[in-house]
A and B are shown apart, each in its own frame.
Chain A
Amino acid sequence: EIVMTQSPATLSVSPGERATLSCRASQSIATNVAWYQQRPGQAPRLLIYGASATGSNRATGVPARFSFSGSGTEFTLTISSLQSEDFAVYYCQHYYNFPPWTFGQGTKVEF
């Protein structure tokens, strides 16, 4: 089973600031990582996945301030300028090869 480890557990930032969230895989998984956002009381929402040299794939309606980089075992989700609606918990998840598909424990972005 591939273990996904996120850091930090909590990230305190102010609106307009840049937020950098990290995710590490226990083995190389190419770029087969997805990021999900979960606002309080809501279901998770796909944000972005599959970082590559030509860029990553943002889900429908996800603003360009969300970007994703990394490959192998180290991955980063960057929110360039935090908006009020971005305060949420973010999960990374691998989809490399075969299940089980595992999630990181989450990073809470708070004000």
Chain B
Amino acid sequence: EVQLMESGGGLVQPGESLRLSCAASGFAFSSYAMTWVRQAPGKGLEWVSGISDSGGSTYYADSVKGRFTVSRDNSKNTLYLQMNSLRAEDTAVYYCAKDSGKIALREVFDFWGQGALVTVS
């Protein structure tokens, strides 16, 4: 069974940093791209970032480019999102999701974690 478990959320002040983790199990983590999607309170879904299976390719939404960094440790089956210079508009539940393929391009998000709440205030 595929399981994704986010951690590291919390309350921070504007300008501060936070690192989210996503522990994966139940599938060959190193063979799949991974994605972060966020959802502001009461709002819809926003794609944030994606990373290929090897970590060699990364992609970001314009709203976080230059402030957020996605990475992965395939030896630990863990995905990360380093968030710097946080703003009030970054307040959201952050979901990690497994891609259906390797390259983080033209793939769907076939399994999702339960999310981690990040509050910037």
Contacts and interface: CB of A to CB of B under 8 A. Distances in A.
25 contacts: A32-B106, A36-B45, A43-B95, A43-B113, A44-B37, A44-B95, A46-B109, A46-B110, A46-B112, A59-B110, A91-B44, A91-B45, A95-B107, A96-B106, A97-B105, A97-B106, A99-B47, A99-B61, A100-B61, A101-B47, A103-B45, A103-B47, A105-B44, A106-B44, A106-B45
A33 B45 CA distance: 15
Nearest to B49: A99
Interface residues of B, number: 22
Interface residues of A, number: 26
Interface of A: 32, 34, 36, 38, 42-46, 49-50, 59, 91, 93, 95-106
4 closest pairs, A vs B, by CB? A43-B112, A101-B47, A103-B45, A34-B108
Q: In terms of DSSP, what is the predominant structure of the interface of chain B?
A: strand
B55 interface: no
A43 B110 contact: no
A77 B111 CA distance: 20
Contacts of A97: 105-106
Contacts of B95: 43-44
Interface in B79-121: 95, 105-115
B62 A95 contact: no
